[in-house]
């Protein structure tokens, strides 16, 4: 599991552990990973630090995991960065950073794991996207673009994996009460450093994790988890003009 050191990733790790899974916890912050490992029970969780922007290092990490456990049943692609800045005020370097972590890093790790899953003939790839993977939102242009890209890639991959024994589940969180906005990048790449109101009022991470694991267990292709904001997916599909107007008035920063 990537992005396992905090927020949604930590909550998912704890819920997987509660249900008896053996885990691989990955992120860049080793100290935070070890804290999550201790909460899961050290014998139940292996820490393998990962930097998703270093694609060349990923195959070795996969081999290390396989040497320890012998197999992989579920890959959870959760690591990512968010954004809180107007498109015009966001440097291209920040746009690229968001795509590198959220999209290219996720794809690179998936490609490193995929041959082993195909050889097993079973397994599931889980991708934590966002509701803004289904529709754009102000102050999140590059973030939304990276999440839209995930849907395009993994919808295509799912179709290619038909009859292989492998499945793909895309999970789209709404507002979940984590530090995602605190760590979100602003236009020059600096973290926002504050919690936005919508996130602060969002669903508890533990509640999200329970919903997410149920979706994975049921083999869902795609699921939306959150509060009323999840209705945006339906509104965008059925009344795109009305949705566009509502979006201009939404307090999303």
Residue 223 in any domain: the answer is yes
The predicted structure's pLDDT at residue 172: 98
Instruction: Output the pLDDT for position 14.
Output: 97
Asked whether residue 110 is domain-assigned, the answer is yes
Question: What CATH code is carried by the domain that includes residue 241?
Answer: 3.40.50.720
Output the pLDDT for position 25: 98
Residue 114 CA to residue 158 CA, distance in Å, equals 12
Residue 253 reports pLDDT greater than 90: no
Number of domains in the chain: 1
Is there a catalytic annotation at residue 139?
no
Given this model, what pLDDT does residue 249 score? 82
Q: What percent of the chain has pLDDT over 70?
A: 99
Catalytic residue among 69, 103, 139, 143: 143
223-225-229 Cα angle (round to 5): 115
Whether pLDDT at 1 is above 70: yes
Query: Is residue 1 assigned to a domain?
Result: no
At residue 42, the pLDDT reads 82
The span from the CA of 230 to the CA of 155, in Å, is 20
Q: Is residue 108 part of a domain?
A: yes
Q: How does DSSP classify residue 140?
A: B
- Is 80 exceeded by the pLDDT of residue 252? no
Mean pLDDT over 165-180 rounds to: 97
The answer to whether residue 63 is domain-embedded is: yes
Distance CA 186, CA 199 (A): 17
Mean pLDDT of 102-119: 98
Q: Is 212 exposed, middle or buried (0-12, 13-18, 19+ CB in 10 A)?
A: buried
pLDDT in tens, 61-97: 999 999 999 999 999 999 999 999 999 999 999 999 9
- Average pLDDT of the chain to the nearest whole number: 96
Rounded mean pLDDT of 198-221? 97
Radius of gyration of the chain (CA): 18
169 domain residue, yes or no: yes
Task: Report yes or no on 2 lying in a domain.
Answer: no
Structural domain of 104: 7-249
Check residues 10 and 248 and name the one with the higher pLDDT. 10
| pLDDT at residue 198 is higher than 80 | yes
User: For residue 93, what are its two tokens?
Assistant: 């370097």
pLDDT band at 250 (very low <50, low <70, confident <90, very high): confident
Residue 240 confidence (pLDDT) above 90:
yes
Is 176 contained in some domain?
yes
Q: CA–CA separation, 69 vs 221, rounded Å? A: 26
Query: How many residues are given for the chain?
Result: 253
The whole-number pLDDT of residue 67 equals 96
């Amino acid at each position: 599991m990537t992005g396992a050191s905090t927020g949604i990733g930590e909550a998912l790790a704890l819920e997987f552990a509660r249900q008896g899974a053996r885990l691989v916890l990955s992120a860049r912050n080793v100290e935070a990973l070890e804290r999550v490992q201790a909460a899961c029970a050290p014998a139940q969780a292996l820490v393998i630090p990962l930097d998703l922007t270093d694609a060349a290092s990923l195959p070795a990490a996969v081999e290390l995991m396989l040497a320890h456990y012998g197999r992989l049943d579920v890959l959870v692609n959760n690591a990512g960065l968010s954004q809180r800045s107007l498109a015009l005020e966001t440097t291209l370097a920040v746009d690229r950073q968001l795509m590198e972590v959220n999209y290219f890093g996720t794809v690179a790790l998936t490609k490193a794991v995929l041959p082993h899953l195909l050889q097993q003939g079973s397994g599931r790839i889980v991708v934590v996207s966002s509701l803004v993977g289904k529709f754009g939102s102000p102050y999140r242009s590059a973030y939304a673009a990276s999440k839209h890209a995930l849907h395009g890639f993994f919808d295509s991959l799912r179709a290619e994996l038909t009859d292989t024994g492998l499945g793909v589940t895309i999970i789209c969180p709404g507002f979940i009460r984590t530090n995602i906005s605190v760590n979100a990048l602003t236009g020059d790449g600096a973290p926002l450093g504050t919690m936005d109101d919508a996130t602060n009022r969002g669903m508890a991470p533990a509640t999200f994790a329970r919903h997410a694991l149920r979706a994975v267990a049921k083999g869902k292709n795609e699921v939306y988890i959150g509060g009323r904001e999840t209705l945006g997916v339906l509104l965008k599909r059925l009344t795109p003009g009305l949705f566009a107007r509502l979006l201009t008035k939404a307090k999303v920063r």
